[in-house]
Amino acid sequence: MVIERSSVKQNDCWNVEALFPSLKEWQENFDTMVPTEKPRWPQFNELKEEVHDGDPETIKAIFDLYFAVDRLLSLLYTYAHLRHDEDITSEDEKIAYSKALSAIYDFGEETAWIEPALIALDSDKLKAILSSPLLEEYRFHIEKIIRVKAHTLPKEQEELLARASKALQTAHKTFSAINDADFKFGKVLDSKGNEKELTHGLYGLYLREQDRELRKNSFFAMHGKYFDYENTLCELLQGQIQSHVFSSQTRNYSSCLEAALYPKNIDTEVYHALIGAVNNGISSLHKYASIRKKILGVDSLHLYDMYVPLVKDVDFHISYDEAEDLIIESVKPLGDNYQNLLRQGLKDERWVDRYENKNKRSGAYSSGCYDSMPYILMNYKGILKDCFTLAHEAGHSMHSLLTHLNQPYQYGHYPIFLAEVASTFNEELLMHLLMERETSKERKIFLINEKIEDLRGTLFRQTMFAEFELLIHELAEKETPLTPQLLRNEYVKLNKKYFGPEVTIDDVGGIEWARIPHFYYNFYVFQYGTGISAALSLADKVLHGGEKEREDYLSFLKGGSSLYPIELLKNAGVDMRSTTAMKSAVDKFGKLVNELDKLLESSS
């Protein structure tokens, strides 16, 4: 039974009180620090009148003020969104979250003129700004602004777009409300006729059960709910994509993909190269499906058969406390300082909100801000996958912490392109530890299967999502209406291509696109594929290298956004302009599948 939030033990909750003791104190701080009368920050209007002179002192004053306000709002928002996610139906927290978002939108609107005003300066003034010692701390930030000059609109139009930003988030916010709060999945039957409650968190658990009837019923019940609302969900997704089309066309990009990647200095060819590398190695996924079908002994392999462990009698239940200990031990190759910081965060500072409760946000994430500890949302169930998820989120958190400790605020957030590198790196360290300690052949088979599943989920599945996301954006750019039937048909085609002839794609499985929140994130998912490719390469260097390789990686974690993401990775030892790391990741999957096949053959 899923418990109410009020019944959760304090030690199982993240320490949000470290930010503000209560919602009352948060509200008092919000009321004191965030003006209600608009413009909320009139100081920007005063600086606006002076910026055309290009005086470095004025530019410095603008960025000093901008980052001071941004830092404050980030702190207020972090508390509000964490409290909101504990129980997304709670009215007071919902209001606080809305207030924080409104302040952020207003801040964006009132400062939308800064970049176009800076870009509008003539080349001599821009050169003087970039060479001024006064602006040394902001030089790279200013260079990034100037880089998108061709795609920045006059300040009046930028202000108009900023005003529209809140409305353009409606589709995403509505999907989140429906998916995380409104949808109830009821109960499903197992093979013995027992009723089981179905939630987002329990769904992943049931798909790993040996009880095939429970897996099947859970799969059909979960996807059936989305199928019932496919027209509404289709319109929401189409609305989100149209906002991307609107933004890219308004800013004179050639495509939505270019609009998403260009500001980060990532060539669109990196996206296409990932899809190409995975497609070229897709036969290994087909082979894995054949092995799975044979071992499970089923006449027809379905998507609900793709997650159950192939070794039936291995008990890999891991309590939350045991998971923490394993993860802390696994990061020993990164040195004492890294290990001690992580131990302190998990054991003493209560970074983690551990278990599922009623109306808690589903899934897992790492959050926090520059002036807070990291915060990790979990819905821990005790399976091995949950242990890896905790390692994954701890990787994010340590990346954030080391960035915050080593960079000024303006460079204290790592770029999205790098977001999945540190997290996947830590998963690889955990797997290395578990495989190193294991002596049982059956448990090794289990672990290899888990690693294959990790790669399948992170490299192949996310690349399939990336391919689907690119397709539906390209269709929208060609003004092709996105209908539920079109989305189902295209999604089924991709599933058949990726899984191969051994897997039966049930009709209801074609609706899976409707429950993937990442399709609202504007070309985010491909970074799981590039991230795991870079992480595997870096982990190999650290595990088999020496002090230099470790320090190069730690320097990467400390780099924040002080360089473009491609350059930060290159300094750490991986060049993502080449396909080497992507091909290597695909090859590793193939080698693991072959190793699994041999071990299974020798066990039969």
Reading the block at residue 279, the tokens are 């497609």
CA–CA separation, 207 and 52 (whole Å) = 60
Of the two residues 393 and 310, the one the predictor is more confident about is: 393
CA distances from residue 119 to 40, 145, 152 in whole angstroms, order as listed = 25, 7, 8
CA–CA separation, 37 and 86 (whole Å) = 31
How much is the pLDDT for 1? 75
The SS3 call for residue 360 is coil
Provide the 10 A C-beta neighbour count for residue 334: 20
Mean of the pLDDT values across residues 432-460? Answer: 92
CATH for 14-168? 1.20.140.70
- Cis omega (within 30 of 0) on the bond before 39? yes
**Candidate list 159, 324, 356, 393, residue with the active-site label:** 393
pLDDT at 603 > cutoff 80? no
Active site residue 420: no
CA–CA separation, 188 and 317 (whole Å) = 23
Name the nearest CA neighbour of 524 among 306, 261, 299. 261
CA distances from residue 135 to 67, 69, 120, 147, 411 in whole angstroms, order as listed = 14, 19, 18, 17, 14
Q: Which CATH architecture has domain 171-349+383-604?
A: Orthogonal Bundle (1.10)
pLDDT tens profile 96-150: 999 999 999 999 999 999 998 998 898 899 999 999 999 999 999 999 999 888 8
Reading the block at residue 475, the tokens are 């269709």
Instruction: Tell me the whole-structure pTM to 2 decimals.
Output: 0.83
Q: How far is CA 441 from the centre of its chain?
A: 34
pLDDT at 599 > cutoff 70? yes
CA–CA separation, 343 and 326 (whole Å) = 11
CA–CA separation, 17 and 468 (whole Å) = 41
Mean of pLDDT over the chain: 94
- Helices 283-296 and 580-603, packing angle to 10 deg: 20
Q: How far is CA 243 from the centre of its chain?
A: 20
The SS3 call for residue 20 is coil
How much is the pLDDT for 604? 62
317 neighbors 382 (Cβ within 8 angstroms) = yes
Of 305-314, 329-338, 394-403, least confident by mean pLDDT is 305-314
pLDDT tens profile 414-425: 988 898 899 999
pLDDT tens profile 208-244: 999 999 999 999 999 999 999 999 999 999 999 999 9
Provide the 10 A C-beta neighbour count for residue 414: 25
Could you tell me the residue ranges of all domains in the chain? 14-168, 171-349+383-604
Of 59-68, 117-126, 297-306, 476-485, least confident by mean pLDDT is 117-126
Mean of the pLDDT values across residues 492-506? Answer: 96
Provide the 10 A C-beta neighbour count for residue 20: 20
First-last CA distance in the chain: 39
pLDDT tens profile 507-522: 999 999 999 999 999 9
- Helices 419-437 and 441-455, packing angle to 10 deg: 170
How much is the pLDDT for 47? 94
How much is the pLDDT for 497? 97
CA–CA separation, 383 and 348 (whole Å) = 24
Type of residue at 48: K
pLDDT at 313 > cutoff 80? no
Q: Which band of pLDDT confidence, cut at 50, 70 and 90, is reported for residue 76?
A: very high
pLDDT tens profile 319-328: 999 999 999 9
